[in-house]
Amino acid sequence: MPLIALTGGIASGKSSIARRFAEHGAIVVDADAVVRELQEPGTPVLAAMVAEFGADILDDTGALKRAELGARVFGSPEKVATLNAIVHPAVRAKTEQRFTEAFARDPEAVVIYDVPLLVEARSSDPWELIIVAHAPAEERVARLVEFRDMNEDEARARVASQIPDEQRLQIADVVIDTSASLDQTLLEADRVWNDLGSLLRIARDRREERA
């Protein structure tokens, strides 16, 4: 019943890897999906966000205008910290509930937490394996321009706003290189899945040596 964290920077290919693991039978808990659920109209998290940032972050139906919120906090470490203080505790509680439910349904399940902000919010949790999806920053900028309709300045700003790649790589037990084609990335994901037992043992031994 391993609990595995999968992380990576924006446009790193992390979500493609998560989908591949799900195809192999993993139960994937998607942090972004949990955040969206917690920010639905009528939730305590959204109410706290409105109290902090104003009702104009909502549209006419009461739903969160994510682009408006992003523009409101982007570039301000203080506002980002305030937003995180509202959202992160609720996400932690909800995801831990999801982990518990998954293992209750299947004690032998492989549960993978697909989370972009692992280093920032949850790196101290007792993950049995940490997998990092990694591509150079320039490659990720190019993907944002090509696939997400950002201009180059916007793309570079988004990549630069996240923690440096070195900090993610420092906590990695396994790195999946996503700089080549999608097919190659999926082959790497398959390799990790097939070697999961030995990778878990190696990671466990390393942690015992450091303890």
Each residue's pLDDT tens digit, 156-203: 988 998 899 999 999 999 999 999 999 999 999 999 999 999 999 999
The predicted pLDDT at position 13 comes to: 94
The predicted pLDDT at position 126 comes to: 80
Higher pLDDT, 75 or 151: 151
Q: Which amino acid is at 97?
A: Q
Domains contained in the chain, number: 1
Task: Phi first, then psi: give them for residue 175, nearest 5 degrees.
Answer: -115, 125
pTM over 0.75: yes
The predicted pLDDT at position 60 comes to: 95
Q: Does some domain include residue 155? A: yes
Q: Does some domain include residue 98? A: no
Domain membership of residue 153 as a residue range: 3-26+110-204
pLDDT average, residue stretch 52-69:
94
Residue 211 has pLDDT above 90, yes or no: no
Q: How many CA atoms lie within 13 A of 117 on its CB side?
A: 14
Task: Give the contacts of 83 (CB within 8 A, at least 6 positions apart).
Answer: 49, 52, 53, 69, 73
Q: Does some domain include residue 166? A: yes
SS (H, E, C) 5-20: EEEECCCCCHHHHHHH
Q: Does some domain include residue 76? A: no
pLDDT digits (tens, 9 = 90+) for 90-149: 999 999 999 999 999 999 999 999 999 898 877 777 899 999 999 999 999 999 999 998
Q: Does some domain include residue 38? A: no
Q: Which of 11-25, 30-44, 62-76, 97-111 has the lowest mean pLDDT?
A: 62-76
Q: How many CA atoms lie within 13 A of 20 on its CB side?
A: 21
Q: Does some domain include residue 48? A: no
Q: Does some domain include residue 14? A: yes
The predicted pLDDT at position 71 comes to: 84
**Taking the CB of residue 170, how many other CB atoms lie within 10 A of it?**
11
Q: Quick one: how far is CA 24 from the chain centroid?
A: 20
The predicted pLDDT at position 1 comes to: 75
Nearest to 59 by CA among 73, 48, 46: 46
Q: Does some domain include residue 83? A: no
CATH number at residue 188: 3.40.50.300
pLDDT average, residue stretch 23-35:
96
Q: Which of 16-20, 23-27, 157-161 has the lowest mean pLDDT?
A: 157-161
Residue 80 has pLDDT above 80, yes or no: yes
Q: Which amino acid is at 163?
A: I
